[in-house]
Amino acid sequence: MTTNPQLRKGSILLVTLLTITILATLCITSLYIASQNANSVSQAASWQQALGGAESAVDQAIAALNTGTWTNWITMTGSVPNLQPQPGPTPTTASAPPGSNHYNYLANSLTSQLAQYQVSNAITTAGEGNNLISMWTTIDTAGLPLDSNGNQWYRIRATGTAATVGPPRVSNQRLDNDLRKIGLRFDRKTSNSISSPQASRTIEVIVQALAQSTWVRGITLKSTITMSGGGLIDSFNSTDPFKSTNGAYDVTKRQSHGDVATTNSGNSNLNSTYVYGSLAYSGSAVKNTTNVQGTISTPFNGQIPSTSDPSWTSGMWDSSVSQVNGTVTLTAGTKTAPTRFKLSQINLSGSNVFTLAANTDGTDSYIEIWVTGKMTTSGSAYITQDPKVHVTYWVDNDITLSGGSYLNQSGLAQNVTINGVGTGHKVTISGGALFTGVFDAPGFDVTISGSGGVSGALIGNSLNLSGGAGLHYDEALNTGGGNSAIGNYAFASWFEDTR
Amino acid sequence: MIRPKWKNSAFTLIEMLMTMAGSSVVLTAMVVGGVALMRSFAAVEGYSFSDGDQLRVSDYIALDVRRALTASVDANNVLTITIPNYYDANNSNPKWSNAHALDPTFDSDGAIKYGATTTTIRYYKLSSSFIREVNGTANTIATNVSSFQVTSQDLTSSVSCSITFSPKFTTPVGPDPVTGTTLYSNTFLRNATARQ
């Protein structure tokens, strides 16, 4: 029998082809699956990048509102469109927040931005994957009326878009498609064709105008600060249970925002006492600042507005009480119609009790007291204030609170405001009880001694803090607002449009 | 002298044995390699899909929690959140073609509101599936979920969840069983906190 060499060669070829086919199939399948997985990851990544772009655009809008810098913004007439505006070749430059029937617009298709806050319009990255995120944003009033302070809130709509690296292919993660809605060949909002796949996300933020607070720091002075003994300054937050206990200062939850500032430090000396916050000053270097836990900076150029008496005219106050020098009860009114008293003095001694009572309906009550003379408590006399009562004092002469002299039953500093009016007077707080309230007395020299101290905040001319007394700044005071000037804009609403 | 061709075509016994030994080695290597390749492929696929599931669940929860008005969790670990009815229609499944954004207004407390009511979204585990339910309509957004826990201690500022996914590729490579993957997420209640 003879064998045919041709058949043997054919067999080898077949086996070779079969092997190559199997290997090629394996390779192609693996590459295809790997490509699909890479595509899926790329889509997920670009979806996240798009949100970063949108949030960056919101940040730019808030920065423009906060700083009043509208570089590269343009203003347009009409309502905010759903789709990206088309400003035309000669857009009107924006110079202020938009009024009604207008909106301001910013996009990275405009000139590269070099505004004060140094945020570039487009985010660029390097390396593999998508390297460019674009965004556009609008600001308008959304038809919202002015708030109770007479300030306008704004709507910010921002869209971020990030390219998806890879072919225009639906993700193999089928359930991803409902979530990420990647545009493959067409922009799903405009229906325009796109050259490469992209992820796009839109968020809408409403920003509210925050009233500028008088109480942005614990202590603000015009002159020297002297601390000694076991005196300390720190902070807490009466509205945060992690930073206070039942709204009261708790040393175990101490915070480090008890900031101190003085416009003319003079001969200030902290004597290595502890300040759990930052120190800012103008003038001579403050001595012995070893235990300032925050930063120390100079200069401090903050403005300290002076105080003034209320502009009441005759008949605007209850004249049934002209002074308090014994046990007396005054009843508060409503917020819109607070009870008012103009007193020649408050002088409590012995066992006198001065009661500030809430109105009978149990709601928050308000009372305003103008003291043209001194405000003094001594001995075991004290002032007690119902938890519902909010009181504002204007005192034109020295203020002396000693012993357990002021019982603010709410425990909230914001419920007691003592305005010291004029210059050359004194505030003296002593004894073992904690005074909870705020002093706005920029012309008064303040002395805090004993073991009690102050829970709240203080504005004064000078401060001498000694003994075991501390000043515990209530951070919640910085959100209540002291006047109607706009401090900053903050989120009032945040929503992602997932259409 | 001319020899017949068949005599030249034969293999000797030694040649045959060597060929069979060589072929066995090659075939064994191919089989082992093929199995290893298949296992590796299955493991990569399992990893990829699990990773996709984890990303998706994390992204869904983050998306909804950020824009939530309220968040709560019950004893069965069902996370319930409400979001504003931002659209004029089809709030359960808004699309560019069937829903338009509403303008915001102030409510009686001075807070921002959209529309008169809210949309309720629930997240829970059902058997091995993870469900996102919008206004009563349930959709599976992940599979192979073995547990879902929501930390309930603070639902006023953030929502913390842990979700454990069963392994898709379970063939052990060592003496110990393959364990699941637990995903932890902590999302800031951005919308709700902005309103406080």
pLDDT in tens, A228-253: 888 899 999 998 888 999 899 999 99
Minimal C-alpha gap between A322 and chain B (Å): 39
Closest residue of A to B142, CA-based? A175
Whether A13 shows a pLDDT value over 80: the answer reads yes
* A217 and A147 inside one domain: no
A40 lies in a domain?
no
pLDDT, tens digit (0-9, with 9 covering 90-100), for A432-456? 778 999 999 999 999 998 887 899 9
Dihedral sign (CA A373, A378, A381, A384): positive
A104 lies in a domain?
yes
pLDDT, tens digit (0-9, with 9 covering 90-100), for A177-198? 889 999 999 988 888 899 889 9
Distance CA A311, CA A334 (A): 19
**B63 → closest Cβ in A145, A155, A496:** A496
pLDDT, tens digit (0-9, with 9 covering 90-100), for A262-283? 989 999 999 999 999 888 888 8
| CB–CB contact B112 A26 (8 Å) | no
A37 lies in a domain?
no
Distance CA A439, CA A231 (A): 18
Structural domain including A83 reads: 46-210+492-497
pLDDT, tens digit (0-9, with 9 covering 90-100), for B30-51? 889 888 888 888 888 888 888 8
Q: Is B66 on the interface with A (CB under 8 A)?
A: yes
State mean pLDDT over A363-375.
Answer: 94
Q: Residues with Cβ < 8 Å from B46, sequence gap 6 or more?
A: B167, B168, B169
Distance CA A448, CA A468 (A): 10
A3 lies in a domain?
no
Q: Would the pTM count as exceeding 0.90?
A: no
Closest CA to A496 of B134, B184, B121, B190: B190
Minimal C-alpha gap between A421 and chain B (Å): 34
* A392 and A281 inside one domain: yes
* A155 and A286 inside one domain: no
Minimal C-alpha gap between B141 and chain A (Å): 6
* A150 and A262 inside one domain: no
Q: Which residues of A touch B105 (CB under 8 A)?
A: 144
Distance CA A190, CA A198 (A): 13
β-strand pairing of A132-140 with A123-124: antiparallel
* A192 and A228 inside one domain: no
User: A162 is written with which tokens?
Assistant: 């990030």
A246 lies in a domain?
yes
Minimal C-alpha gap between A10 and chain B (Å): 16
Number of domains making up chain A: 2
Worst-scoring range by mean pLDDT, A142-146, A480-484, B60-64, B98-102?
A: A480-484
Worst-scoring range by mean pLDDT, A490-494, B129-133, B137-141?
A: A490-494
* A249 and A164 inside one domain: no
Give the pLDDT of residue A210.
74
* A253 and A206 inside one domain: no
**A44 → closest Cβ in B55, B67, B101:** B55
Closest CA to B93 of B62, B65, B132: B132
Q: Which residues of B touch A491 (CB under 8 A)?
A: 190, 194
* A250 and A198 inside one domain: no
Q: Which residues of B touch A493 (CB under 8 A)?
A: 84, 104, 111-112, 191, 194-195
Mean per-residue pLDDT of chain A: 86
Backbone angles phi, psi at A472, to 5 degrees: -110, 105
Higher pLDDT residue, A117 or A285? Answer: A285
A468 lies in a domain?
yes
A344 lies in a domain?
yes
A116 lies in a domain?
yes
pLDDT above 70 covers a percentage of chain A that reads 91
Give the model's confidence band at A125: pLDDT under 50 very low, under 70 low, under 90 confident, else very high: low
Whether A391 shows a pLDDT value over 50: the answer reads yes
**B9 → closest Cβ in A3, A47, A180:** A3
Q: Is B23 on the interface with A (CB under 8 A)?
A: no
| CB–CB contact B94 A498 (8 Å) | yes
State mean pLDDT over A327-339.
Answer: 92
| CB–CB contact B83 A40 (8 Å) | no
User: B45 is written with which tokens?
Assistant: 């696929």
Give the pLDDT of residue A354.
94
* A268 and A180 inside one domain: no
State mean pLDDT over B5-16.
Answer: 75
Give the model's confidence band at A392: pLDDT under 50 very low, under 70 low, under 90 confident, else very high: very high
* A229 and A128 inside one domain: no
Higher pLDDT residue, A302 or B139? Answer: B139
* A228 and A204 inside one domain: no
pLDDT, tens digit (0-9, with 9 covering 90-100), for A288-310? 998 998 888 777 767 788 899 99
* A118 and A83 inside one domain: yes
Here the ipTM equals: 0.85
CB of A277 closer than 8 Å to CB of A257 = yes
Worst-scoring range by mean pLDDT, A141-150, B48-57, B124-133, B169-178?
A: B169-178
Give the pLDDT of residue A482.
43
